[in-house]
Amino acid sequence: MTLHPFAFLRKHVRFRIRNIGLYSFSVVILYLAASYFGGFFFSLFYFSLALPFVSLVHTLIAQGRLVHDQKLNVEYPIKGQSLDYHLYLYNQGVLPIARVKVRFKTFRPELNAHLEDFSCYLGADSVIEKTFSLSFEFRGTYNVGLERLEVEDAFGFLSINKRVSYRSIYIYPRISRLKSFHPSNDGYRGFGAGRSRHGEPDYSLFTQLNEYRSGESIRHIYWKKFVNQGLAYIKEFEQVSTHTVNIYIDTRSYSDGARKALHVEDTSVEILVSLVKFLLDRRIHTQVNAPGAETHRFEGSNPIQFEGFYRSTSRIFFQDTISPAALYRADTARLFDVRDTLVLITHRPDRSVVTLLEELRRKNQKAILIVNNIGMTEREIIRIKSYFDDLRRRGGGVLHVRGAETITEDLER
C-alpha cells in the first residue's frame, strides 16, 4: 500500500525544533545587523535565508538514492562461535549525503547488549562497509540488524527515517561428544553395552565372531566362512539394554538474575542435546519431553534424525510451567515398557522429582537423574549430593553436572 505524501511525512520525517529555533534567532540578529549597517549584511541575511531551503531540497532528493544491505557469514551459528555481520550503505545518487545516522537493534532485551551506533558522511556514488565480529555467550534468539537509519540535512533541521530491517537468528547450543554413558553403579553397564548371543541384538553393532557351540541358534551363523572353511562361527552383536529412553527436561524458569538464568538454561539444554546425540548415534529409541505452554516432544532412533531435533531446540523455552516429574506422571496414562529407561534432567531437584525417583526405585524401574548444579550455592550442592549419594547407594542412577564446560567429564563418570 502506497502512503499519501502527507502520511509519509508524518511517519518518516521529523523536524528538529531546537535547531530551527537557534537558526531563526541567528537570522533575526542578522536582520537587525543588516537594518542597522546595511550593505554586506543584507547580502548575508538573504544568503542565510536561502541556504537552509537549498539544504532541505538537496537532502530530500539525495535520501531517495540511499540503500542498505546486511549479511551474516554463518547460517546456523553455535554458542561461542565467531560470526561476521556486514552492513553496506550505498549512495547511488550524484548528490552527497551530509549525515547518515545508524542505530542497531538490541540483541536481547534481558542482556541490554547492542552494537555501537555511528554516523557518517556518504559521498556521491559511494559505498561504506562496516563489519562487526559477533560472538554470543548464550544460546537463544537474537535480533541482529538495524533499528533506525536516519538521513539529516547539513543544518540538522530535518531527519528522515529510512525503512530498515533486522534478522532474528537462533544461536544453537554446543554439543559435547560423549564416548560412554554409565548412569548407575548397580551393574547396569549403560546403553548398548552387552554382548548378544541371545536376546535382542542391534545388528548395526557387530562385535566379533565366536565358534558355534551346540544348542545355540543358527540364525546368526556366518555361512560364508562355513562354506569356505567348513567351520561354524556365530556372529555376535552388541545388545541394546533398553527399549526406549524417555528423557524429561526441566524447563521451569530460574529467577536469580538474567545472566545466571541463561547459564542454567544453556547447561540443561546442552546436557540434553549431548545425550540425544549419544543415543541416536547408537540407534537407541529416544523420546524427549519438555513441559511448557506447548509441550515439546521428539521421538527418534536414527542418527539422521538428530539434525531435526537439534534445530527444534529453538522451541524449548524456560517458563512458568510444571516439573518434569509432573509431566511424566501425566504421560504414564499410556503405559511404559518395563525395559524403558527414564532420564530426568533438572536444575530444581525438588520434592516432586525425589518422590518420583523413590517410587520408580521401589518398582525396579530404570531411572537416571541428571542434576544441573550450576545455579546452586555450595551449601545447596553439598546438601543435594548428600541426599542423592544415599539414593545412589540404594541403586538409583544419579549424576551431577557442574557446568556447561564439564558435561562430557560429568556424564562419562
Distance CA 310, CA 323 (A): 22
Sheet holding 82-91, edge to edge: 66-72, 82-91, 126-135
The whole-number pLDDT of residue 23 equals 75
The mean per-residue pLDDT over the stretch 114-122 comes to 92
The whole-number pLDDT of residue 239 equals 52
Name the grid cell of 217.
541358534
Instruction: Give bridge partners of residue 297 from the DSSP assignment.
Output: 289
Give the residue carrying C-alpha cell 547492542: 114
pLDDT in tens, 353-369: 888 888 887 877 888 89
Label residue 214 by pLDDT band (50, 70, 90).
Answer: low
Distance CA 260, CA 135 (A): 18
Report the percent of the chain where pLDDT is more than 70: 79
The whole-number pLDDT of residue 189 equals 40
The whole-number pLDDT of residue 11 equals 57
Name the grid cell of 214.
551346540
Q: Comparing 3-7, 87-91, 93-97, 165-169, which segment has the lowest mean pLDDT?
A: 3-7
For 360, which DSSP code? Answer: H
Tell me phi and psi for residue 259, to 5 degrees. -65, -40
pLDDT at 6 exceeding the cut of 60: no
The whole-number pLDDT of residue 344 equals 94
The neighbour count for residue 162, using CB atoms within 10 Å, is 16
The whole-number pLDDT of residue 222 equals 55
Distance CA 393, CA 334 (A): 31
Label residue 198 by pLDDT band (50, 70, 90).
Answer: very low
Give the H or E element holding residue 274.
helix 258-281
Is the four-CA dihedral 275, 277, 279, 282 of positive or negative sign?
A: negative
pLDDT in tens, 253-303: 987 778 899 999 999 999 999 999 999 998 899 999 999 988 999 999 999
pLDDT at 203 exceeding the cut of 80: no
**Based on the number of CB atoms within 10 Å of its own CB, is 361 exposed (0-12), middle (13-18) or buried (19 or more)?**
middle
CATH topology of domain 244-411: Rossmann fold (3.40.50)
**What 3-state DSSP class applies to 406?**
helix
pLDDT at 345 exceeding the cut of 80: yes
pLDDT at 10 exceeding the cut of 70: no
Tell me phi and psi for residue 390, to 5 degrees. -65, -40
Tell me phi and psi for residue 62, to 5 degrees. -65, -35
The whole-number pLDDT of residue 331 equals 87
Q: Comparing 151-160, 184-193, 248-257, which segment has the lowest mean pLDDT?
A: 184-193
Label residue 194 by pLDDT band (50, 70, 90).
Answer: very low
For residues 41 and 284, the model is more confident at 284
CATH number (1.10.357.10, 2.60.40.10, 2.60.120.10, 1.10.3720.10) of 12-172 reads 2.60.40.10
The whole-number pLDDT of residue 113 equals 84
Label residue 54 by pLDDT band (50, 70, 90).
Answer: confident
pLDDT at 375 exceeding the cut of 90: no
Name the grid cell of 191.
546403553
**What 3-state DSSP class applies to 285?**
strand
For residues 335 and 385, the model is more confident at 385
The mean per-residue pLDDT over the stretch 5-14 comes to 58
Distance CA 303, CA 268 (A): 21
Q: Which of 99, 87, 160 is nearest to 127 (CA)?
A: 87
pLDDT at 195 exceeding the cut of 50: no
The whole-number pLDDT of residue 185 equals 38
Residue ranges covered by each domain of the chain: 12-172, 194-239, 244-411
The whole-number pLDDT of residue 206 equals 45
The mean per-residue pLDDT over the stretch 308-334 comes to 90
> What is the chain's mean pLDDT, rounded?
81
pLDDT at 26 exceeding the cut of 90: no
Distance CA 103, CA 115 (A): 8
The neighbour count for residue 45, using CB atoms within 10 Å, is 18
pLDDT at 197 exceeding the cut of 50: no
Give the residue carrying C-alpha cell 551449601: 379
The whole-number pLDDT of residue 79 equals 94
The whole-number pLDDT of residue 209 equals 60
For residues 335 and 322, the model is more confident at 322
**Based on the number of CB atoms within 10 Å of its own CB, is 126 exposed (0-12), middle (13-18) or buried (19 or more)?**
middle
CA-angle at 353, arms to 252 and 390, nearest 5°: 135
Distance CA 142, CA 333 (A): 39
**What 3-state DSSP class applies to 263?**
helix
**Based on the number of CB atoms within 10 Å of its own CB, is 214 exposed (0-12), middle (13-18) or buried (19 or more)?**
exposed
Q: Which amino acid is at 142?
A: Y
Torsion of CA 203, 205, 207, 209, to 10 degrees: 10
The mean per-residue pLDDT over the stretch 66-78 comes to 92
pLDDT at 377 exceeding the cut of 80: yes
Label residue 177 by pLDDT band (50, 70, 90).
Answer: very high
Q: Which of 321, 173, 338 is nearest to 248 (CA)?
A: 321
